[in-house]
Amino acid sequence: MTPAALPETCDAEPRALAWIRPGQVGYVGPDLGADLHAASVAVLTVGLDAPFTVQTGSRGSIITRSFYAPARIPHRVVAPAGGRILLLFNDSADAPADRLAASMRRRLGPYGLDHAREAALIEACADGGDPGELRALLASASDPTSASGERWMHRHTDGRTDRRIERLVAEIRADPAQPRRAAQSAQALGLDRSHFLHLFARQTGTSFRRYRQWCRVLHVVRGITAGHDLTRCAADAGFSSPSHLSDTFRQALGTTATTVFHSGVRFDLED
């Protein structure tokens, strides 16, 4: 699908590109000034032009070129003025939890530093970044048979996937506005509520509630790109009000919907 540009607030050429694919959302462009936040899904940040600073809630400030934050763990990225970053949000449910963590060469508490394919990711974004190429690079780096990957996978999962969770994730993506409660979803899968929530978090890397919120935010992005206003998009995605959308958007991304949609970013949405 041809990337769609939102109305800009100045005459400058858009510098940023964002894309949505099943299991992955990406962004290449300048730092949008996100505040300290805990993303709904795991995210990898790469400094494309220079190292950046990460402010964390528990580990102070970190200077690095690539940084991994699990879902729901507070962090804030501060890039040098004019420097571009790559953001890769991973919500894949076809592999246990999030193998991005197994691709990081160093650990600092819950965070990961120095992605195994850091240089290749930077090179791939020299001309904007191709979602397919970036996905392939991540897959080639996420090797659970490596020493670090094997240790991480052993701690976080038994190595199996559950097709029931995969199907449920697909249903949530297809219709995020549909009201879903953990108890009812667990019953539909033949599981008790506690086991269902544990299984969902293990396989997706985030909670059932935060994943549903994430899919609703992405639904809003699609609606805005299609030309609808925020009020309609909030209702279509299942938010109770535009202010509910605003709060959730900031919680998920650390910035406001208005900031993102008026930044000149272009969106490439897969049909």
Residue range 218-255, pLDDT digits in tens: 999 999 999 999 999 999 999 999 999 999 999 999 99
pLDDT band at 160; cut points 50, 70, 90:
low
Question: Which token pair is 265?
Answer: 């970013």
Q: Give yes or no for residue 145 having a pLDDT over 60.
A: no
Is 150's pLDDT higher than 90? Answer: no
Query: Please, which pLDDT band fits residue 191 given cuts at 50, 70 and 90?
Result: very high
CA dist 185 and 265 (Å) reads: 36
Torsion of CA 184, 163, 71, 16, to 10 degrees: -110
Residue with the bigger pLDDT between 92 and 190: it is 190
Whether the predicted pLDDT of 14 surpasses 50: no
User: 75 Cβ partners below 8 Å, 6+ apart?
Assistant: 36, 37, 38, 39, 54, 55, 56, 57, 67, 69, 111
- Residue 180 to residue 184: CA distance in whole angstroms: 7
Query: Which stretches within the chain are classed as H helix?
Result: 118-124, 131-141, 147-156, 163-174, 182-188, 193-204, 208-225, 230-237, 242-253, 257-261
Pairing between β-strand 266-269 and β-strand 17-21 as defined by DSSP bridges: parallel
In terms of residues, how long is the chain? 271
Quote the CA–CA distance of 189 and 193 in Å, as a whole number. 10
Indicate if the pLDDT at residue 133 is higher than 50.
yes
In tens, the pLDDT along 23-80 reads 889 999 999 999 999 999 999 999 999 999 999 988 899 999 999 999 999 999 999 9
Least confident of 5-14, 142-151, 247-256: 5-14
pTM to 2 decimal places: 0.88
To the nearest whole percent, how much of the chain has pLDDT over 90? 70
Kindly list the structural domains of the chain, giving each domain's residue range(s) and its CATH number in brackets, ordered by start: 4-269 (1.10.10.60)
Which of 80-84, 160-164, 209-213 has the least mean pLDDT? Answer: 160-164
What do you get for the CA distance between the two ends of the chain, in Å?
7
| H/E element, 32 | none
Higher confidence at residue 182 or residue 22? Answer: 182
Average pLDDT of span 108-134: 93
Q: Which region among 68-82, 132-146, 148-162, 253-267 has the lowest average model confidence (pLDDT)?
A: 148-162
